[in-house]
Amino acid sequence: MIGFIGLGIMGSRMAGRLLAHGHALIVHNRSQEKAEPLLNQGARWAASPKEVAEHADIVFTMLANPKAVETVAIGENGFLDHLAEGSLWVDMSTVDPSFSRRMAQEAGKRKVRFLDAPVAGSKIPAEKGELVFHVGGKAEDLEEVRPLLECMGRAVHHQGEVGSGTAMKIVINLMLAQSMAAFAEAVTLGEALGFDKAHVVDTLLGGATAAPFLRGKRDKIVNGDFEPEFPLEHMQKDLQLVAQTAFEQNVALPLANAGKELYALAKQKGYRGQDFSAIYQFLKDR
């Protein structure tokens, strides 16, 4: 049986894809409520991470941050001590590379194999199985779970040894966060200069300076409706992972840190649960 821990916006949809492809699933989440739709589709409920481990030989985790991953893995009633030797843990959470390497060590001590396999893509691609996986770890371990990953994603890239999936993911999320914030500032400036919001947005989206994913944020910005696909507080957390990693690797990233604090202010001022494109609204509100 396959274990799946973490049923938020992303995890619930990814687990749903596995179920829909006929895989038997045992699931766990901090609040059981979010598991209900999956249980109705046939998934089995586990009252703790430990209980997941007792019934699964492959465990997927999809959680909000390193601390949450650490808790379910090696905290009280964590799953890692209870997995059978030779089992495989696939962590799809966005964490930092040092953390992935540390989790791989914890797994290794218990003779559990480990892959870091974070995903590019948010709510809609998760629902449609169109995520992109960036995977770190052993090629043979990846081959073993590739069919499962392909239920959830349209592409699977092996980036190298343990930690390299996570490494590529934070590089991508840095681009995502900063492109969004740069776009938000450009639209804000355009409006301040008297342009109609939709006109600036569409002019930028029609040119060569705006990242393609921004087209998916058009309506949110134009309509001022920031229902979360990827919550702002998660993006802010990812920028913190970027900053921590840059410090460890001894590179200066002035713009990334400025972006981190811009999102931090927005988080503090009430936009934390909105989509991260609400960074625009933070800049606009008076």
The smaller minimum CB distance to a second copy, of residues 86 and 207, is found at 207
The number of helices, as runs of H, and strands, as runs of E, in the chain is 13, 9
Please, what is the minimum distance in Å from the beta carbon of residue 187 to a second copy?
A: 8
| Residue closer to a second copy, measured from CB, 51 or 116 | 116
For a second copy, give the closer residue by CB, 12 or 188: 188
Residue 43 DSSP symbol: P
Is beta strand 119-120 parallel, antiparallel or unpaired with respect to 131-136? Answer: antiparallel
H/E run at residue 219: helix 218-223
List interacting residues with a second copy (CB under 8 A): 97, 120, 132, 157, 159-160, 164, 167-168, 170-172, 174-176, 178-179, 181-183, 185-190, 192-195, 200, 203-204, 207-213, 240, 242-247, 249-262, 264-265, 267-270, 283, 285-286
Q: Decide: residue 40, CB within 10 A, 0-12 exposed, 13-18 middle, 19+ buried.
A: exposed
CB 201, min distance to a second copy, A: 11
Report d(CA 137, CA 115) in Å as an integer: 5
User: In the bound complex, what is the minimum distance in angstroms from residue 174's beta carbon to a second copy?
Assistant: 5
Q: At what angle do helices 97-109 and 66-74 cross, to 10 degrees?
A: 10
| Residue of 34, 123, 169, 269 marked catalytic | 169
Least separation, in Å, of the C-beta of 272 and a second copy? Answer: 9
169 catalytic, yes or no? Answer: yes
Which residues are identified as catalytic? 169
